Amino acid sequence: MADKVKVGIIGSRFEADIHAAAFRIMPEEAEVVAVASPTAGHAEALAQRYGIPRIFRDYREMLRERDIEMVTITAPNLFHAAMTVDIAGAGKHVVCEKPLCMTLEEAGLMIDTCRKKGVLLLYAEELFFTPKYVKAKEMADQGAFGKVYLVKQSEKHFGPHSAWFWDMERSGGGALMDLGCHGIAFCYWFLDRSPVKSVLCQMGTYVHGDKTRGEDNAVCILEFGNGAVGMVEDSWARRGGMDDRIEVYGEDGVAYANLLMGNALPAYSEHGYGYAVEKAPTTRGWSYPVFEELWNYGFPQEMRHFARCVRGKEEPAATGEDGQVVMEVLYAGYASAGRGEKINLPFRPDGVKKPIDLWHPE
Ligand SMILES: NC(=O)c1ccc[n+]([C@@H]2O[C@H](COP(=O)([O-])OP(=O)(O)OC[C@H]3O[C@@H](n4cnc5c(N)ncnc54)[C@H](O)[C@@H]3O)[C@@H](O)[C@H]2O)c1
């Protein structure tokens, strides 16, 4: 078997670019050899930017390439489950972007199929690899804060870059599904995967009602089995670009981490310049350009880890099971907002097509 894990990417836009860049930043363990995407021109452009030799329209054709060992899914949420089943069926390891899928049934199917086929289902939650957040967890694990009773994570910006996010049929939900999946995973991971006992959630569509049925702001409180509380706040309605932060409160200490501002150089420009940071509305006036953006998020570290898992050098730190827990909490969150009450877990409603249906039936 070749030294480097050969990788194929499904999708060719925003997150595909991040995956390709991540493998380029840490190239020791893996190389991207193929990209598959249905829209003419996009796959070619990605391939050209990153020197990816093989291009496919249909990802199923890419799965016939014998040397590819790991395939990353960066397509809209609606397709994650079917793609995972196809990739596993071709005997290749799966890296699935967040959120894992649309339904709880799909989550079970994805996990079962990968297990039966003997391939890894790796859940692409980069916050498990975000250096600043990893440092906070290491400190908590060393007892820096005493017993942690509250963990917060929030991600906010003015809304996603592609039309499909706003279309609930393809995304499954709004800000909670898109961004809250990070916060839920983060709190669960930070608290050593203590089981989630209950979810209380409020959400609304405050500024983007003209373009989506999805919620553009959500506040979610999780109670964990170990007695700690998680608080997850997400927005597609926040002006001023991207905000991603955590807070950790313990009996004996506290820590705050602002992922982007803390890694930025405050700058003022009359003229503007090329690029500041994801979703920054402008580079004129005051802006906060971030250096080593992907590194600060942990994407290269995440992809390197996944490649090492394929080679058996490391145990998966982010799995389909993590994604499944997040899906259950998302379902409970939308149900909580819909009913106006706290939802206790386990919560496994049958036959619901997408999380948002529990808040906002069509
Ligand atoms: N981890 C993160 O922080 C993060 C950030 C952004 C997006 N994501 C996730 O990545 C996924 C993709 O999001 P994005 O921002 O790249 O969206 P995007 O709109 O920028 O790109 C979607 C890509 O999927 C392709 N695609 C659409 N239908 C397809 C199909 N049937 N078969 C194969 N490819 C298809 C499109 O051609 C496009 O290349 C989503 O699940 C999203 O939630 C994760």
| Mean pLDDT over each residue of the chain, to the nearest integer | 96
Same domain, yes or no, for 82 and 194? Answer: no
Q: Where does residue 44 rank: exposed (0-12), middle (13-18), buried (19+ CB within 10 A)?
A: middle
Task: Give 62's Cβ-side CA count (13 Å radius).
Answer: 33
From CA 143, how far away is CA 131, in angstroms rounded? Answer: 19
Sign of the Cα pseudo-torsion (353, 98, 36, 92, in order): negative
Q: What is the C-alpha to C-alpha distance for residues 39 and 5, in angstroms, rounded to an integer?
A: 26
Ligand 1 center from residue 20 Cα (angstroms): 13
Q: What is the pLDDT of residue 360?
A: 82
Which residue has a Cα nearest atom 43 of ligand 1?
98
Domain count across the chain: 2
What's the CATH code of the domain at 115? 3.40.50.720
At 244, which CATH number?
Answer: 3.30.360.10
- The reply to whether 193 falls in a domain is yes
Work out the pLDDT band at 116, boundaries 50, 70, 90. Answer: very high
Tracing tokens 């150089």 back to the chain, one arrives at: 265
**Which is the closest atom of ligand 1 to the Cα of 43?**
39
pLDDT in tens, 105-115: 999 999 999 99
Query: 264 with 313, same domain?
Result: no
What values do phi and psi take at 25, rounded to 5?
-70, -40
For 267-299, how does the pLDDT look when each residue is reduced to its tens digit (9 = 90+)?
999 999 999 999 999 999 999 999 999 999 999
Range of the domain at 177: 128-290+325-344
Question: What six digits make up the tokens of 146?
Answer: 């005493």
List the one residue out of 77, 52, 75, 78 whose CA is nearest residue 65. Answer: 52
**Residues whose beta carbon lies within 6 Å of some atom of ligand 1:** 10-16, 37-39, 42, 59, 74-77, 79, 97-98, 124, 126, 162, 164
Residue with the smallest CA separation from ligand 1 atom 6 is: 15
Average pLDDT over residues 166-182: 98
With respect to residue 353, please indicate whether it lies within any of the assigned structural domains: no
Residue 262 pLDDT grade (very low, low, confident, very high; cuts 50, 70, 90): confident
In a domain, 173, yes or no: yes
* C-alpha 16 – ligand 1 centre gap (Å): 7
- Kindly state whether residues 155 and 219 are assigned to the same domain: yes
